[in-house]
Copies of this chain bind each other. A is one copy, B any other.
Amino acid sequence: MYFYAVIELAIIGTGKVARALLHGLRHSGQVRVVQVVGRDPVALSTVKEEVPVALPEAIIASADMYLIAVSDDVIPSVSEWVKSPDKLVVHTSGAVPIDALAARHRKGVCYPLQSFSEGRNPDLREVPFFLEAEHKRDLPLLHALANSLSDTVQELDSATRQHLHLAAVFANNFTNHLYTLSYELMRKSGLSPGLLRPLIHETAQKIGEMDPFDAQTGPARRGDKGSMEQHLRLLEKESFKTIYSLLSNSILETYGKKL
């Protein structure tokens, strides 16, 4: 016979990250979500899982952990909702340092490295989670939470997490913007932008098998000056020309090509 500790968790927030984490914990035997807290009654009413919801005033006092999944800029003020001192309060942001949480709490971070969108439920077990605790004694609880969600969990301090988040801006925000620019170029030429999808998917899938450094192709990789000049002539908008030149030059430099 043995005793199995169940972590009672309050989730603060009703946005995309909060919903994804709630969804990821729905079958967990280790973590029980005892409350979802938010200030918007309409948003609370649309929480799909069967779990008690509450406005900030009615926040539960007895949870083992409070997980804050809200916009970066309101993390400090939202962490004040937990009135009792010495509670384990954890935020989920890549960019915000651990000490942004209210001073009276035992502070922690549980950052999932993923881009969450309405209506999509990426497999959390494949999403890397990064943990930080103000007090070492809180790490086991953070690990138990993260392991309930994911197969890839590691500890990371606030400074390194900010570098990780910055790398993610390049890998996610900026690549997605390049998709947007390529879609605009397609539409301008009367082509369906969806035709690019297999290419975009394959480009991303490929790095599962090879380093992107080795997967690079294209005129700049070959140092093909003629093609690059022709592309610049085809581009109408000045902003597109600037981005084309800058990224081509960056590729040329990366592979030690001189024009």
Interface residues of A (CB under 8 A from B): 72-73, 95, 113-115, 117, 119-120, 122, 126-128, 152, 156, 160, 162-164, 166-183, 185-186, 188-191, 193, 195-213, 215-221, 224, 227, 230-231, 234-235, 239, 242-244, 246-247, 250-251, 253-254
If A168-B182, A213-B183, A218-B169 touch, whether A234 touches B162 (CB-CB below 8 Å) is yes
Query: Chain B contacts of A254 at CB under 8 A?
Result: 177, 180
B178 lies within 8 A of A207 (CB): no
A215 lies within 8 A of B170 (CB): no
A167 lies within 8 A of B180 (CB): no
A167 lies within 8 A of B182 (CB): yes
Q: Of all chain B residues, which has the CB nearest A122?
A: B202
Oligomer copy total: 2
B195 lies within 8 A of A235 (CB): no
Shortest distance between the CB of A218 and any CB in chain B (Å): 3
Q: Which of B163, B188, B197, B231 contacts A169 (CB 8 A)?
A: B231
A178 lies within 8 A of B174 (CB): yes
Shortest distance between the CB of A166 and any CB in chain B (Å): 5
Query: Chain B contacts of A178 at CB under 8 A?
Result: 170-171, 174-175, 178
B215 lies within 8 A of A251 (CB): no
* A180→B168 CA distance, assembly (Å): 12
If A162-B234, A173-B218, A227-B72 touch, whether A167 touches B189 (CB-CB below 8 Å) is yes
B250 lies within 8 A of A177 (CB): yes
* A210→B201 CA distance, assembly (Å): 14
Q: Of all chain B residues, which has the CB nearest A180?
A: B212
Q: Of all chain B residues, which has the CB nearest A172?
A: B203
In the complex, which of the residues A166, A217, A231 has the most CB atoms of chain B within 10 Å of its own CB atom?
A166
Shortest distance between the CB of A243 and any CB in chain B (Å): 6
